[in-house]
Every structure is written in C-alpha cells, then in structure tokens.
Structure 1
Amino acid sequence: MRPAVVFIVLTVMIDAMGIGLIIPVMPDLIAEVQGKNLSRAALWGGVLATTFAVMQFLFSPLVGSLSDRFGRRPVLLMSLTVMALDYVVMAVAGSIWLLLLGRVVGGVSAATGATASAYMADISAPEDRSAHFGLIGAGFGAGFVLGPVVGGFLAEFGTRAPFWAAAALATGNVAFGWFVLKETVRRETRRPLSLRRANPFGAVRHLGDLPGIRRLLLVYFLYHLAFAVYPSVWSFFGKAQFDWSPAMIGGSLALFGLAMALVQGVLIRPVLKCFGERGTVLVGYAFSVGTYLLIATVTSSMTILILTPLAALAGVIPVALQGIMSQAVAQNAQGELQGVLTSASALAMVVGPLLMTGTFAAFTAPQGAIYFPGAPFLLSMLLTLAALSVFLRWRVPSSGGTEDGRLPPCEP
C-alpha cells in the first residue's frame, strides 16, 4: 500500500480514535463539570455532539471545495493541526461552555473526512472507488476498535487523559503526512472557488440536478440519522440497561469497530462482486433493520455483545452509496461531492444526537411513565425502514445490479 494511502487511512482512523477515546468518559466528564444525574448528562451529551455536527455540516462543502481549488495536501494538514489543538482545549476544559467551544472548533476541523475521501477518489479508477472507499471505512472501524479500548483504559487515570492521547495521535499524523502526502490535484484541473457552491445548501442543489443523486443523498442522510444512535446513546444505554463500566463500554465499542473494519475493509469487495452496488445496499438494510429491533428489545448483556458485530454488517450501505454517486460526478468535482456527503452525515449528527438522547432521556427519566432504554434503537429501525423505502424507488442502473432492483447471481 502506498504511503499516501496509509496516511489517508490513518487520518480517518485517528478521527475515529479521537471519537472512540472520549465516548467511554463522556457520561462521567459531563457529570463532573455539571454535577447532574445520568439523564441530564445524556442531554448535554446530545448538545455537544449536535454542536460538533452543525459545524461539520456547515463547513464540509467549503473544505471540500477548497481542496478542489488549492489541493488536498494543504487542506488535510491544516485541518489535522487544528484538530490536535482542539483536543488540547478539551483536555483542559473546566466548564461545559469550554467543552462546547471545543466542539465548535472540532466540528470545523473534522471536515477532513471530505478531503480524505476526495483524495482516495483522485487515485482510484471509477470502477474501484467503492472498494477503495471501503478502506476509508475500514480505517474508521479500526479507529473504533482502538479508541474505545484505549479510552476505557485511560479513563482509569482520569477523565482528561483520553483527550491528551487524541492530541498526541493527531500531531503525529500531521508529521507523517508532511513527508509522505503528495498533491493529486493538478494545476490545470483546479476549479475556481465558488462560494455559492461551497455551502451545504448550494452544493446539494447543484449535485441534486444530476440524475438520481437527490434521492440517494436522502438515503445516505437517513442511514446516518439512524446510525447516530451508536455514538449518541450507546454509552448511556450500556450504563442504564446493563450497568456497564467505562471499560466495558469501550470494549463493546471496540467489538463493533473491529467488525466494521472487517466489513468495510475485507468483506465489501466480495459483497460488491456478488450483489453489485444496488444489491449491496439492500443486503445491508436487511441486517440493519433486524439488528436495531433486536438491540432495542433484548435484555441480556451477552446477547447484545453477540449482536454488536452483526450490526456492523450494515456498514456496506454507505460505501456502496458513495461509490454509486462518485461515478456520477466529474473528476474535478470529487471534493465537492465528498463535502456534500460529509455534510449529509453531519446534518444527521445535528439532528440525531438530540433526537436519540432526547428519546433516551424520555424513556429513562425517574418520573417517566415507561422505562425503556432501548427506545432509541427502535426509532433507528423505523428510520432505516424509511430509507429502504426511498431507495427501492431509485431506478438508475448501477454496476452489477439491475434496474428493477433484483439481485444478480454471484460470480465465482
């Protein structure tokens, strides 16, 4: 694997590690600075996650368009530097408002994902993009393997230790990228920066004019809205339903991340070959609906751990969708597309954390009529069914699939 590809995968992995490192300590950290109970801490957790996502939503198309204009290398290195500084701010924050400020800055720097995906598109043949996007997904999953485990371990040394670790990882990756990252945007293909298209609404309007893209963007958004239940609620759900410790929460997230890395880094290629991109999306949704329903209703801690890797099989959905849309846009608009996709997932994280943590708080509050910690996962199942309904009405042919949605036979 080329060093630049290693850097891109590491960048996404460190992004995920930064998230995974801090998830196990978030309930205790918010309670520490607020002095509130678990239900109230969950609501503040939703506010912090939503703030992060709002900034990512607003700035991702701009960052993607900047990389189309000025190149991937300077945008990636600058974003990673700001990310490292943000973790330092989070490490020293003594109030909820400083944590909130850190999430504002972090959301802007997290727009790195759009440029990383655009870089991968630059160096991939059109027919290989879905599989190569799977490497990015695998990096994210690997980060979730290491992040929660390390975060749960570091939590034993205090609620701030994971933030210092995340800052060190981001700084090390900046140094690595400085030496190995080569520019892929040639001078003659650089596109002038258009502020009209460098905002999420203008970019979505422009890309939505392409055949079939608007509906696929909605499917992509609904997938991420349902998926928001994991980073938003999992730590609170584990504590409320099973009385899990931070280390146990970290271990369960690591199990999920390992499964996600295997699905998007290894399994995605044979699945795409067997079912095509459209069929891959359908297979992913079949697993997604079933696992959300089961996680919402089972009460056994061991059963949840068995279901966790099965839930990761839904990770084929965004990879296949990303590949379909990447093939539909021009080469010099890959940064814009990836910015829009990052904004779509970020918009889901604007709405998702408040929706999921609000649902969790309503069904776990001491004065509540019904105690049902699994309610957010049932909501995610309904959102997944809505996404599947929209996708089934998409009729643009894709490689390996059929126009009416029937799955082709697997090739040996």
Structure 2
Amino acid sequence: IIGLGIIIPVLPKLIGELIGGSISQASVYGGWLLFAFSATQFIFSPVLGNLSDKYGRRPVLLISLFGFGIDYLFLAFAPTIFWLFIGRIIAGVMGASFTTASAYIADISTPEKRAQNFGLIGAAFGIGFIIGPVIGGILGQYGSRVPFIAAAVLTFMNWLYGLLILPESLKKEDRREFDWKRANPIGTLNHLKKYPVIAGLIISLILLYIASHATQSAWTYYTMYKFNWNEKMVGYSLGMVGLLVAIVQGGLIRVINPKLGPKRSVYVGLFLYVIGFVLFAFATQGWMMFAFLVPYCLGGIAGPALQGIISNQVPDNEQGELQGGLTSLMSVTSIVGPPLMTGLFAYFTGKNAPVQFAGAPYLLAAALTFVSVILAMRSLASHNLRIENKPAEPVLEH
C-alpha cells in the first residue's frame, strides 16, 4: 500500500514529461490510466480469488507481488505513455490480489477474531496512504522516476519476505476446482437486484463513490495547476488526508455515529461532504485546502452509517452476498469516476473552455452528493426500514 501511495504525487509530472504537455492535458491521461487499472482489477478480482481457492493463497499472492514490482519498473523506465498503460493494466490484474489477501486472513482467523483481523487491512490502507504520498513527494524532488524505483524496491522486498517466510493458509482438503461461472465479475452485481427496497440507498451510495473521485483522481492535478504545488506539497496534503481519514474512520466514527444515530449520521455526513467539495472548488490559496479537509473528512461518518442501514434490511445469511455486490459497485464507480472527474478538469482548464474554472470536478461532486442526500432522505422516509444500529466495518473514503 505504501508503494501505491508513493507514486501518486509524481504521476502527473511523469505523464507531462512523456506527452510533452501541460498539467491540464496530463490529467486526461491520468484519468484513463486509473480507468485501465480499475477495469482490469474489476474483471480479475473474482478470477484470482477462484484461482487461490484451487492452488492456494500463497502462490497467487507471490505472483501478484512480483507483478506489482514489474509494473513499477515499467512506470520507472517507460519511454512512452503507451508503456504507462501497459504497466497500469499489469497493476490492475495484480491488484486484484487484495481479494486473495482477504481470503488469507479469513483462513488463519477464528470466527470471533475474523472481523478484528479484517480491520488490519483497513489499517494497512490508512497507514500506507499516510506514509506513501509523503515519501513519494519527497523522493519526487530528485526526479519523477525515483519514487517508482523506490516502490519497486519495497514491493520486491515484500515478495522476498513472502517467498521465504509466508506459509500457505489454505489446506489441500479445503481446495476446490476452478469454475469460470463463479469467476464472473458481473454475477455479484446481479445479486443486488434481490433487494429492491434499498435501491434508493444503493444509488445514493453509488453517487457518493463517484463524487469521491473528485478528490481521489483530480486532487493532484488541481492543486498543482491552481496553487502551483510541487510533488512534496502534494505528498504532504495527501498524507494529511490519510491521517484525517484514519482519525475519523478509526476513532471519531465510533463516538459520533452512536450519538447521532444512523439516519442523522447519513444526513450530517453527506452535507459535510457537500460543504467540503464546494469549499475545495472555490479555494483561493493553498493553505485553504488543508483547512477544508476537516469538514470533508468528517463527512466520512456517512458511508458506514449508510452501509449499516442497507445491511440491516438483509437477512444474516445473505450478508456476504450483499457485501460482494456492494464491493463490485465500488469497483464500477472506480472505472467511471476517474475519467469523468479528470476529463472535466481538463475541459475547464483547457484553451477552448467557455470559462476557466479548475474547481469544476468539485462542483460536480457537490451536486452528485446533494442528489445522494435527497435519495437517502426519500428512501429512509418512504420505506419502513430497520434503522437500528448494526455494526458496520468503517470504509476508508478520501
């Protein structure tokens, strides 16, 4: 995860060098690079998961780690933009191994410890996106390709650890044959059709996920363009995002959400997101972006509350099916969101734009989130839904 975080602050500079273009032009390529990564990850996640059920977790994890290292080397020594796309496609295939890592944790955990151990994955993401961007921003001062080499070194060290120390977690008697029908990425989405009563809440969640890509996909380009930030400043800002998300998701959410209750947590959180997006759009100085991160990250109380309400409408023996469908939806929004938000940024910062407005992605995000609020309010008011608190794992959103 640190390796992923390391490359984020310097990717716009490397794209710009390869295409010989501006930050505005680089953002378009950046969005499609994220599209290539997310699309391949969506397709291959169930494939690698099924392969790990047949051959074991260890070989799939080792191959994936080695592939990630190769990807970073592709990016470090890419002579043209085409090679960046090849590298990102490789990363998407190998990044699908996160499902295998989850399966590994399930294998080695007792039922009562499973949820706690799954939380380690969220903690790893949080720490990785605090440390990684800061390291990447600092290393980026020595050249746009240096962070990619550092990421490759870390990944190969991780691979070596796995090769020498990591044991297999899946017993041979628990393995099954590979089945293409069960490796269908669309199948998990179809499961959501079984729950029409929560359709409005699911659409609300989809809009929130798409809106979040105004920050996830456009932040680096926006801050470099509008405030002339270098890689180090971008790295520091993303580290701050990771820290605030970790504080909210790891601590405050367990205090705020029980006091507000699920419904008010959804409303307050979504409105805080709207406020944060609007403030980002009209920020005039770089320091404001750090200040405006506070209301934006506090909006993170909405996602888990919304997921908890959705979860409460489904029987216990269908929770896995529901969560699989929601995870697939998140993957789909990661395919749609990046080119949408970076494309909008490029259009409104381009020479032919009717009006120059770099904050356009954030205004769109605010509008999408406002619609998300309306849908959530209508759904919660029009259906006799169970709203009582039910534990939901915090989701790292930033």
Q: Scaled by the length of structure 1, what TM-score is found?
A: 0.80
Instruction: Please report how far the alpha carbon of residue 272 of structure 1 lies from its aligned counterpart in structure 2 after TM superposition.
Output: 4.7
Map of 1:311 onto structure 2: 296
Tell me which of 72, 89, 96 is aligned to 1:87. 72
Distance 2:124 2:22 in 1: 35
1:226-241 to structure 2, matched below 5 A, reads: 226-241=211-226
Distance 2:59 2:100 in 1: 10
Distance 1:192 1:362 in 2: 49
Map of 1:405 onto structure 2: none
1:101-250 to structure 2, matched below 5 A, reads: 101-118=86-103, 123=109, 129=115, 135-177=120-162, 179-180=165-166, 183=169, 187=173, 193-209=178-194, 217-250=202-235
C-alpha change, 1:126 and 1:382, in structure 2 (3 Å) is: farther
Instruction: Give yes or no for the alignment of 1:400 onto 2:389.
Output: yes
Q: Scaled by the length of structure 2, what TM-score is found?
A: 0.83
Deviations 1:213-237 (A, max 9, x none): 7655544432221111123211111
Map of 1:26 onto structure 2: 11
Assess if the C-alpha contact under 8 Å between 2:137 and 2:231 holds in 1: yes
Deviations 1:174-233 (A, max 9, x none): 344553566268955x67654334222222113542575765554443222111112321
Distance 2:375 2:301 in 1: 17
Assess if the C-alpha contact under 8 Å between 1:88 and 1:164 holds in 2: yes
Deviations 1:98-139 (A, max 9, x none): 11100111111112333444555674768984x766553343
- Aligned-partner residue type, residue 107 of structure 1: G
Assess if the C-alpha contact under 8 Å between 2:244 and 2:294 holds in 1: yes
- Aligned-partner residue type, residue 339 of structure 2: L
Distance 2:330 2:273 in 1: 17
Between the two proteins, the alignment pairs up a number of residues equal to 384
Distance 1:134 1:212 in 2: 29
Q: Higher mean Cα deviation, 66-75 or 229-238?
A: 66-75
Q: Higher mean Cα deviation, 376-385 or 106-115?
A: 106-115
Which blocks of at least 5 consecutive residues in structure 1 are unaligned? 1-13, 402-412
Secondary structure of the equivalent of 1:366? coil
Map of 2:46 onto structure 1: 61
Secondary structure of the equivalent of 1:373? coil
Map of 1:36 onto structure 2: 21
C-alpha change, 1:224 and 1:113, in structure 2 (3 Å) is: farther
Distance 1:74 1:340 in 2: 27
Distance 2:302 2:152 in 1: 31
Assess if the C-alpha contact under 8 Å between 2:189 and 2:328 holds in 1: no
Instruction: Please report how far the alpha carbon of residue 80 of structure 1 lies from its aligned counterpart in structure 2 after TM superposition.
Output: 2.4
Instruction: Give yes or no for the alignment of 1:257 onto 2:242.
Output: yes
Q: What CA RMSD, in Å, does the superposition of the two structures yield over aligned residues?
A: 3.4
Deviations 1:340-368 (A, max 9, x none): 44432232222112111111112111332
Map of 2:337 onto structure 1: 352
Assess if the C-alpha contact under 8 Å between 2:75 and 2:148 holds in 1: yes
Assess if the C-alpha contact under 8 Å between 2:24 and 2:350 holds in 1: yes
C-alpha change, 1:343 and 1:59, in structure 2 (3 Å) is: farther
Instruction: Please report how far the alpha carbon of residue 297 of structure 1 lies from its aligned counterpart in structure 2 after TM superposition.
Output: 1.7
Instruction: Give yes or no for the alignment of 1:388 onto 2:373.
Output: yes
C-alpha change, 1:324 and 1:115, in structure 2 (3 Å) is: farther
Secondary structure of the equivalent of 2:183? coil
Q: Higher mean Cα deviation, 92-101 or 26-35?
A: 26-35
C-alpha change, 1:236 and 1:96, in structure 2 (3 Å) is: same
- Aligned-partner residue type, residue 292 of structure 1: F
Assess if the C-alpha contact under 8 Å between 2:66 and 2:155 holds in 1: yes
Deviations 1:28-84 (A, max 9, x none): 211111111222111111121111111112222333444556554444343223212
Map of 2:35 onto structure 1: 50
Distance 1:223 1:124 in 2: 34
Secondary structure of the equivalent of 2:218? helix
Distance 2:323 2:98 in 1: 8
C-alpha change, 1:149 and 1:161, in structure 2 (3 Å) is: same
Tell me which of 326, 344, 354 is aligned to 1:369. 354
Assess if the C-alpha contact under 8 Å between 1:263 and 1:313 holds in 2: yes
Secondary structure of the equivalent of 2:217? helix
Assess if the C-alpha contact under 8 Å between 1:196 and 1:203 holds in 2: no
C-alpha change, 1:289 and 1:92, in structure 2 (3 Å) is: same
Instruction: Please report how far the alpha carbon of residue 243 of structure 1 lies from its aligned counterpart in structure 2 after TM superposition.
Output: 1.3
Assess if the C-alpha contact under 8 Å between 1:134 and 1:268 holds in 2: no
Instruction: Please report how far the alpha carbon of residue 308 of structure 1 lies from its aligned counterpart in structure 2 after TM superposition.
Output: 1.6
Map of 1:9 onto structure 2: none
Map of 2:270 onto structure 1: 285
Distance 1:168 1:214 in 2: 45
